[in-house]
Amino acid sequence: METIEWLHYDSFSNQPNKGNPAGVVFLEHSLPLQQQQHIAKIINFNETVFITHSTCADFKFKFFAPSSEMDFCGHALLAGAVAILDKKKTLKNSLSIETNVGIVSITISKNKQVTMTQKEPLFTKFSGSISDIADLLSIKITDIDNSFPIVYGNTGTWTLIVPIKHLSSFKEMTPLTKQFPKILTEFPASSIHPICLETRSQEADMYSRHFSGAYTGAIEDAVTGSAAGVMGAYYSTYISEQKNNEFIQLHMEQGYELKREGIVLVNLLKQNDIFTVSITGTATFVTSSHISI
User: Looking at the annotation, which residues are catalytic?
Assistant: 47
d(CA 280, CA 263): 9
Strands 48-52 vs 20-26: parallel, antiparallel or unpaired? parallel
Helix (H, G, I), strand (E, B) or coil at 283: strand
Q: What residues contact 26, with CB distance under 8 A and at least 6 apart?
A: 5, 51, 83, 87, 89
d(CA 269, CA 219): 32
Radius of gyration of the chain (CA): 18
> What contacts 24+ positions apart, CB below 8 Å, involve 266-272?
266/228, 266/229, 266/231, 266/232, 267/115, 267/232, 268/232, 268/233, 268/236, 268/242, 270/236, 270/242, 270/243, 270/244, 270/245, 270/246, 271/244, 271/245, 272/244
> HSE (CB half, 13 Å, CA atoms) of 183?
21
Q: State the distance between the two ends of the chain, measured CA to CA, in whole angstroms.
A: 6
Q: What is the DSSP letter of 77?
A: H
Q: What residues contact 112, with CB distance under 8 A and at least 6 apart?
A: 82, 85, 282, 283
